[in-house]
Amino acid sequence: MEGKEVAIVGVGIHKFGRFGDKPFTEIASEAIRMALKDATMDWADVQVAWCSEERLPLFTGPKIGAALGRTGISICDVEGACASGAIALRDGIFAIQSGAFDNALVFGVEKMPRGFMDPTITYDRWQVQMGLSTNPSYWSMSARRYMHEHGLTDLHLAKIAYKNHKYSVHNPYAMYQKEFTFEEILNSPVVCDPIHLYEICAPNEGAAAVILCPKEMAHKYTSKPVTVAACVHSLGLYSSDFRAPMTQLSARISNPSPTTLAARKAYEQAGIGPEDVDVAEVQDTDAFMELTHYEELDWCQPGEGGRLVDEGATELGGRIPVNLSGGLISKGEPIGASHLGQVVGLVWQLRGELGPMTVEGAEVALAHVTGAMGHSGVTILKK
């Protein structure tokens, strides 16, 4: 990244799942305390903080700060759909690079309601009335179109879900930690054809936190700093799928996806190419979306995502292991904590602290999220 290098020196996470009446202040505080302990810091040492959230009340960050103890620092709330965590992380990085602060805390938290998200929060009334505003509908339409054009089958989607559930048993912070057979996945209830229940993520609750500082100061906090080589947030140019009726039309010959826009900027910032990524966490709101992101992240040509699945390229031991945490399919998605949860797992990965899920020799890791209104975030970490 331009300017001084920034390192992650502490990470923390609260298990993703459902926690009844447990308040978001407590959920977030646990993740923050874990990150502080990891960085051998006290709460009073934190100089500035950002809180990513999407569906929580006003002043979420300040309320969490008050629960930890008021210190007078700036705590700003950030929201940007599924990329909220990436935006908050980017802002924390800018604060360090500006020289205004020697450390920054970035945390995300969410308590999502059960079921599909209320589309009226995101879309205009006329768009909701016309349909296509509920998540699975546009994902499934995209999947069926892709199947028609490229020969993808239900088994390909089951293979992705099987992979993610298989790895989830090693992640104590995942909501679901159970391996399923292909038959169980394909026989699970259909949510929206062709997507089955075990191939889609659930909105839920959780929190994650990271602590940043200038790389030259990282030795004060840890012996295993991880460098943030890039952190990019982008908005899509025009509607790029079957979401609620779009408000813009384009005569462009090419309309790159929000993911591709963010990824290519991130690769440039980090001074690498897509072939240099050793391990990744990508947005798998459903199994098909994980596959499309293989292509949008430039890991293969359009239409070749199924080939990567058949080759085992995205499994542990493959060319680019993806979602060794179990992905959102297993972890669930507390929107504000989603991207930061990916980053926490990848920091552990580059530190070599994930036991059987550790990718030997991994030097470069990529975290990716994308969501409503074309928000997308890509963070690249280097050992």
Active site residues: 82
Do the Cβ atoms of 210 and 341 come closer than 8 Å?
A: no
Neighbours of 45 (CB within 10 A): 15
Report which secondary-structure segment, H or E, holds 63. helix 60-68
Whether the Cβ atoms of residue 112 and residue 328 lie closer than 8 Å to each other: no
Cβ atoms of residues 345 and 280 within 8 Å:
no
| SS3 of the chain: helix, strand, coil, percent, to 5 | 40, 20, 40
364 DSSP β-pair partners:
382
Start-to-end CA distance of the chain, whole Å, equals: 15
Is residue 217 packed enough to be buried (19+ CB in 10 Å), middle (13-18) or exposed (0-12)?
middle
Report the SS3 class of residue 279: strand
d(CA 205, CA 14): 9
CB 370 within 8 A of CB 378: no
- Cα distance between residue 18 and residue 113, in whole Å: 10
Give kind and range of the element (H or E) at residue 87: helix 84-97
Q: Which two tokens stand for residue 197?
A: 């229940």
The C-alpha atoms of residue 243 and residue 245 are separated, in whole angstroms, by 6
Residue 216 contacts by C-beta under 8 Å, 6 or more apart in sequence? 4, 5
Q: φ, ψ for residue 76 (rounded to 5)?
A: -110, 135
Give ∠ CA 373-236-269 in degrees, rounded to 5: 125
